[in-house]
Amino acid sequence: MKKFMAMLLCAMMLLCSVCGAMADGITTTMTVEWDGAYDVVVIGFGGAGAIAAKNAAEAGAKVLIVEKAPEGSEGGNTRFCGQMFVYGKGNVEATREYYKALGGSRDIPEGIFNVYTEKIANMAEIVAEETGLDPANFGDAKAISTAVIAYSPEYPEFPGAESIELWATHQDGISDGYLWTKLRQNVVDNSENIDVWFESPAKHLIQEPTTGTILGVQVERGGELLNIKANNGVVMALGGFENSQEKVETYLGLSKVAVQGSLYNTGDGIDMALEVGADLWHMNVWEGMGAALGATTVYPGDGKQVSYYTSYMPPCTSGSVMMVAGDGARFINETEYTRHGHIKHHDAWENPHYPQSMYLVMSNENYQTALAYQVAVPADGSYTYSGNTVEELAAAIGVDAATLADTFTKFNSYAETGMDVEFGRNAESMKAFPAEGPYYAVELVPQMLNTQGGAKRNENAEVLNTEGNPIPHLYSAGEFGGICSLHYQGGGNIAEVIIFGQLAGQNAAAAKEALPEGLVTDVMTDAKYTPGVMTDIVVADYSHIELGENEYLGIGEGGMGGVVVCKVKIVDGKIEEIEVVEHAETAGISDPAIANMPGKIIEAQSVEVDNVSGATLTSTAIKNAVADAMSKAK
């Protein structure tokens, strides 16, 4: 901390003396004590960071990725998203028409707009080239999953939509981490030129104040603050701020949200960008999911991603079920279709305005059906209230009993007459509440996938200052300053991850002109963190794993974090023991599979067993690993 405070003091002294220095010919030197040096430092090991690091390494740079998450939780929202990309089927003109309509009246600078749309038009080819995936396995995602039909294209009424599709990266499914595992493996394959530090958050950018040049990054690692020099450039790929309650309130005006993506997207990059004079854009733009305003049950706050949501679930959108606000009145058509959480407001689809409190009110029949779905309401009964009468339910959730009773009466009359005169809900989806309870109310909050706001960038992936000029040696990619300004097309963020990850990595790696003499004195006396000295990335070398008699090593693909490695003891063709020895799965989500799948396989003496609910990908990887070990025992 002392080193950084000294740097800040020096920078402040320099800023205060710039005018005098110019008048008197005096030069003030900034002295920086470096703990290490690389050509490029990438902040964030998600999809954008992985692509930027790979491209920088392929351009000849020595790269350091610093990531705040522990191993197994890296990947940002790329790890958890649908693994799909938007594709303009080679038609640049139509793609530009469509994206112009997506922006509405909100202006996107021509340079970045043209780069983005030209590459989206050719996205399938770019994805294949960047990832090494076989384009023969790509295809229109709606042919693979009916769940994404509405997103391919998402705005079919817009000009150019006939050339826009949402494409999957493989034919076997979506939302399975497939793309992320490939991007992560590309970093592993370039481990000779890329070091990765987990649990090492970037704290500040180190900037030379006269020219504004970014010299490096201050990183916290193992409780120590380290100054890491970046000879050619720094790439900010930190994702959004959806998991910062303070920033969500400040920029989006939402007091409570439930987040479905990475728990580590807390807006750190915004603070760092503002410190060095960066401009921000699209800070009020965010994406959600589902019906009923994209609302979901309250985030449990247990360190896990949201596991239950109301998105188009029948017990939440059909029958004796309605949404009420904190005053006890309905306020929305509960089945209203959203486009990534946006609802139609006259001539635009916008993020909705939410009441301060909202509840999903259900009959006992609907509630019991919802419990059976396991994702519609909290199975443990949290944030759930009940009453045998309407008055008791009103008291339980703290709303006016007379208003809630009137809401019940109106809803039942609409269901019986076949016309919802208030909100236009299809009466076929409405069933009158029974005269007797119990009745249930589940507290709801807005469901959030990601934010788009962050540092403003240009077509070269350079971060811009408030005057519109590039901040020297500073680049960005991904959702940290996304290009989306109004309407969002599914797959657009993955496209942006790839497009600007490439540009940021390549441009950051390019050699830069030296700063004018006298501005910076580099102190490198204890620069022990240099390329190849320290990395946390796991390289696929299992020679260190000791195998006993009748033990075989199995490598199973298909996990969210890549492969799962199991040690399997097989005696006379019988599976006796299974031990998961290495993995990079997500803590919390994968734990039930790691704990229970070995026992299930041993009991069945087969890998043909059901996956553990909620941990499907990890279960599949364990089964694949055991099958691999069994093949070696034959």
Interacting residues of 511 by C-beta distance below 8 A, sequence separation 6+: 232
Quick one: pLDDT at residue 29?
A: 84
Residues in the chain: 634
Q: For the chain, what is the radius of gyration of the CA atoms?
A: 27
pLDDT tens, 158-184? Answer: 999 999 999 999 988 888 888 998 999
> What domains can be seen in the chain, in order of their start residue?
1-74+177-276+449-455+503-539 (3.50.50.60), 289-446 (3.90.700.10), 551-633 (3.90.1010.20)
Average of per-residue pLDDT across 516-531:
91
Contact of 462 with 410, CB cutoff 8 Å: no
Interacting residues of 471 by C-beta distance below 8 A, sequence separation 6+: 207, 212, 213, 214, 276, 277, 278, 462, 463, 464, 465
pLDDT tens, 40-97? Answer: 999 999 999 999 999 999 999 999 999 999 998 899 999 989 999 999 999 999 999 9
Quick one: pLDDT at residue 23?
A: 34
Quick one: pLDDT at residue 300?
A: 56
Quick one: pLDDT at residue 232?
A: 98
53-62, 365-374, 499-508, 534-543: least confident range: 534-543
Tokens of 173: 């499914």
Quick one: pLDDT at residue 539?
A: 67
Q: How confident is the model at residue 577 (pLDDT cuts 50, 70, 90)?
A: very high
Q: Would you say residue 104 has pLDDT above 80?
A: yes
Quick one: pLDDT at residue 156?
A: 97
Average of per-residue pLDDT across 467-481:
98
Distance linking the first and last C-alpha atoms of the chain: 59
Average of per-residue pLDDT across 332-356:
90
Measured in whole angstroms, the distance separating CA 322 from the mean position of its chain's CA atoms is 30
- Report CA-CA distances (Å) from 240 to 71, 197, 264, 286, 616: 20, 20, 9, 9, 27
Q: Which amino acid is at 30?
A: M
What percent of the chain is modeled with pLDDT above 90? Answer: 73
Mean pLDDT across the chain, nearest whole number? 90
Residue 603 has phi, psi (to 5 degrees) of -65, -40
Quick one: pLDDT at residue 295?
A: 83
Of 438 and 20, which is predicted with more confidence? 438
Distance between CA atoms of residues 266 and 278, nearest Å: 18
pTM for the whole structure: 0.87
Contact of 253 with 353, CB cutoff 8 Å: no
Contact of 131 with 167, CB cutoff 8 Å: no
Quick one: pLDDT at residue 174?
A: 87
Quick one: pLDDT at residue 560?
A: 80
Most trustworthy range by pLDDT among 389-403, 544-558, 559-573:
389-403
Average of per-residue pLDDT across 281-285:
97
Which of these, 538, 588, 495, 593, lies nearest to 263 by C-alpha position?
Answer: 588
Q: Which amino acid is at 16?
A: C
pLDDT tens, 215-243? Answer: 999 999 999 999 999 999 999 999 999 99
Contact of 269 with 236, CB cutoff 8 Å: yes
What percent of the chain is modeled with pLDDT above 70? Answer: 92
DSSP 163: G
Q: Would you say residue 4 has pLDDT above 80?
A: no
Quick one: pLDDT at residue 13?
A: 35
